[in-house]
Amino acid sequence: MFDAFRKTLRKFSDTVATVAGTGVTIREEHVDEALDELEMSLLQADVALDVVERLRDALKEKLVGTKVRNASEIKEAIRRALEELLDLPAPKIVPPPETPYIILFVGPNGVGKTTTIAKIAHMLSKMGYRSVVSASDTFRAGSIEQTEEWARRVGARVVKHDYGADPAAVAFDAVKSAKARGEEYVLIDTAGRQETNENLMEQLRKIKRVVKPHITVFVGEAITGNALLNQIRTFDEEVGVDAVILTKLDTDARGGSAFTVTVGAGKPILFVGLGEDPDDLKPFSPKELVEMILS
């Protein structure tokens, strides 16, 4: 899955191992060549230039000065450094004493928002919690039916209005009815379109004003490449983003996107999507991702 990325990182640790020798403190000249190679490969994997540079600097800072005796210790140091770069404190999505816990999902069209919301409702349902999905994408033809279809599959309730209705009014009704019924979660699905669309951003801000979600989650594709950073930044500036869910990690051959989110955008990754079924969602584990990359 992470072939190209893994190959470079393996080469990187081998190069460091070769030049560092045994029982030495890693110095800048030990890692420079390897970091050059890493940089090239990340750029080829569509990771944005400033993310690559920041990753390079951060990795260098963590490695230089580290005492190592052999190649496996170097690999361990790299593993730790990469894990730390991916491991940002993420909000906990436990229902507050006064339910419901409200999550607003934002992001471009087609990235998997509706599917991800269904996966989350499914996960919460397995934990014994009830979810209400607010069908607040009242723009795209077919979106409400798609939300209903998914909700049926995972046993969640849907609150909907007609197409063209105010997305914030739908969200308001969803929250109101969840309160009345004591349901634990409200998951708000929203429209995508262009991230630059001012009308969309205004709608999203209005939803925020009206229902005051506990967190706003950006849903993005692992396969977006370079554009992912700009997407997150735009939504963050316009609406405010607390955390990210990366979908389609099962189809990402390069794996650089996780670094784009944490190192580039400075946002924690909550979950990763690994397929099209309700169970194909996993909490993000920096350890597992790095394991996959390096092993």
Chain residues binding ligand GDP by CB under 6 A are 109-115, 192, 247-248, 250-251, 273-276, 280
Q: How far is the CB of 48 from ligand GDP (least distance, A)?
A: 22
Between 41 and 247, name the residue whose CB sits nearer to ligand GDP.
247
Please, what is the angle between helix 71-86 and helix 286-294, to 10°? 140
Provide the β-strand partners of residue 226.
none
CB 239 within 8 A of CB 188: no
Between 16 and 222, name the residue whose CB sits nearer to ligand GDP.
222
Q: How far is the CB of 201 from ligand GDP (least distance, A)?
A: 16
Between 268 and 273, name the residue whose CB sits nearer to ligand GDP.
273
Sign (positive/negative) of CA torsion 206, 211, 213, 214?
A: positive
Between 95 and 275, name the residue whose CB sits nearer to ligand GDP.
275
> What dihedral do alpha carbons 36, 37, 39, 41 form, nearest 10°?
160
Between 12 and 284, name the residue whose CB sits nearer to ligand GDP.
284
Q: How far is the CB of 264 from ligand GDP (least distance, A)?
A: 20
Q: How far is the CB of 118 from ligand GDP (least distance, A)?
A: 8
CA distance 99 to 19: 57
Give the tokens for residue 47: 């990771």
Q: How far is the CB of 216 from ligand GDP (least distance, A)?
A: 15
- Give the containing element (helix H, strand E) for 216: strand 215-221
Q: How many angstroms from the chain centroid is the CA of residue 236?
A: 13
- Give the nearest residue (CB) to ligand GDP: 273
